Amino acid sequence: MSIPAASTAVGSLCLPRSRIRSSALQPMMAVRSGTVSSVTQILTKLQKECATPLPVLRHVADSMGNDMRAGLAVDGASDLKMILSYVDTLPTGNEKGLFYALDLGGTNFRVLRVQLGGIDQRVIATEAQQVSIPQDLMFGTSEELFDFIASGLAKFAEKESGEFQLLQGRKRELGFTFSFPVKQTSISSGILIKWTKGFAVSGTSGKDVVACLNEAMQRQGLQMQVSALVNDAVGTLAGAKYWDNDVMVAVILGTGTNACYVERIDAIPKMPGQKSQSGTTIINTEWGAFSTGLPLTEFDREMDAESINPGEQIFEKTISGMYLGEIVRRVLLKMDEAGSLFGSSMPDKLQTPFSLRTPHICAIQQDTSNNLDEIGSILFNEAGVEAKTEARQIVLEVCDTIAKRGGRLAGAGIVGILHKMEDDMKGLIFGKRTVVAMDGGLYENYPQYRNYLQDAVTELLGPALSENIVIEHSKDGSGIGAALLAAANSKYKHHI
């Protein structure tokens, strides 16, 4: 299944109101007989198969905890990789100097610089820039992709001025947020396990991604070195914990999804003898690969079978921004084929994979007008269909069904992590204020999805326990977190 190029990350934002007025839409053509019953049957079946009542949520949460334990015991014993991050020293606030971050996590990459002023000034200034990755590089060679990234980083570094000052005698240091499954081998090295999120880059199998970036920076003549390799979830946790010591879990919900948490070293059987000054480390779960007990439909199975990684990343394909819009498109296409939802002719655009994206379904759910005019405009602009009010209402219900399932399953996953932590650290999770740091455009910009997630957490934990669990948005946490981890692991840290 081909993934279309996108100038903004899928799931990163809701679309602005369309300028096309409902009067610009032509009346829907006469529909075939049996339309209402066929469409209603498909919708009813979809809602039933996507349902997430409390028993389903509990099963998902329990399965998440069980898979975490299995993954911590033996590599390969679980869908969850449970990767040791080698982050056992988190930023303290004492860090000083200029540090860079590179965040590669989807259809864009971000570069960022941070000037740190120590415990009194903390973050003095930040500056960031986002660069879109051409689609051909997502399927190109390792050298082509990393050269493009290093070139963007070099151009950004050239503009360094003003409040951003490199301390004398130092080389620029970088925190590299690489949001794909990596077998971490140290705080500044890691071997790529596999590409996800629509990437299929060749020439990276068995390679250290830090070495790939360092070599590309050298080819660009950029004097910079990677001091910390982190996952976006790990970066988010580090960035959030810099300001709030109660942060114990971080979750990314954007184009893709992942989660990490603070784990006790002695609770990792597969790493006997591992040392940590704090007695803890951050575990990168790679929870996008989770699959146990998920309520799936024919549309999920068809999309998975046609994807570039069939049978993999099932949780991600159910809850993340890259896929929600595509699931909705497939449902609407079947409704139109079976019951002429949009009239007697089949719209070509609706047949195009990923033509309806998650920002579109987010925008659809914000329409509160009587005739759902905005939904009509979105369908006309993005799917090439003309829909009467009744059809627009069906579309709204489909979007809500898919978003509700995604949000509630994400909430169940969070509770699974919290329960696992509580089992190992009695009273240290549910007995006090515990913060789950959230980042990603899907969580930030899709209010219905966000509310469904919170509802599931409250439903699973109950009103008393859920009062202690704080779910907070940590905007751009992974970028600043990576820079902070570069500072905490700087080769100059004995000077700090």
Torsional class of 103: left (φ above 0), alpha (ψ -120 to 50), beta (otherwise):
beta
pLDDT of residue 468: 94
Specify the pTM: 0.85
pLDDT of residue 402: 98
* Residue 57 near residue 412, CB atoms below 8 Å: yes
pLDDT of residue 277: 72
In the DSSP assignment, the letter for residue 249 is: E
Over its length of 496 residues, how does the chain's per-residue pLDDT go in tens digits? Answer: 333 333 333 334 444 433 333 333 333 333 344 457 899 999 999 999 999 999 999 999 999 999 999 999 999 999 999 999 888 778 888 888 899 999 887 788 999 999 998 888 888 889 999 999 999 999 999 999 999 999 999 999 998 888 888 877 788 999 999 878 888 889 999 999 888 878 889 988 788 999 999 999 999 999 999 999 998 899 999 999 888 889 999 999 998 999 999 999 889 999 877 777 778 899 999 999 999 999 999 999 999 999 988 999 999 999 999 999 999 999 999 999 998 898 877 778 899 999 999 999 999 999 999 999 999 999 999 988 889 999 999 999 999 999 999 999 999 999 999 999 999 877 778 889 999 999 999 999 999 999 999 999 999 999 999 999 999 998 767 788 999 999 988 877 644 4
Q: Is 232 a catalytic residue?
A: yes
pLDDT of residue 240: 92
Residue 473 is which amino acid? H
- Which is the catalytic residue, given 79, 232, 373, 476? 232
- The superfamily (CATH) of domain 85-242+476-487 is ATPase, nucleotide binding domain (3.30.420.40)
CA 253, CA 66: separation in Å to the nearest integer?
A: 22
Residues sharing a CB contact under 8 Å with residue 11, sequence separation 6 or more, in sequence order: 253, 254, 255, 320, 321, 322, 324, 325, 357, 358, 359, 362, 440, 441, 442, 446
List the structure tokens of 31. 């529909």
For the chain, the domains span 85-242+476-487
pLDDT of residue 7: 32
- Which is the catalytic residue, given 81, 96, 197, 334? 197
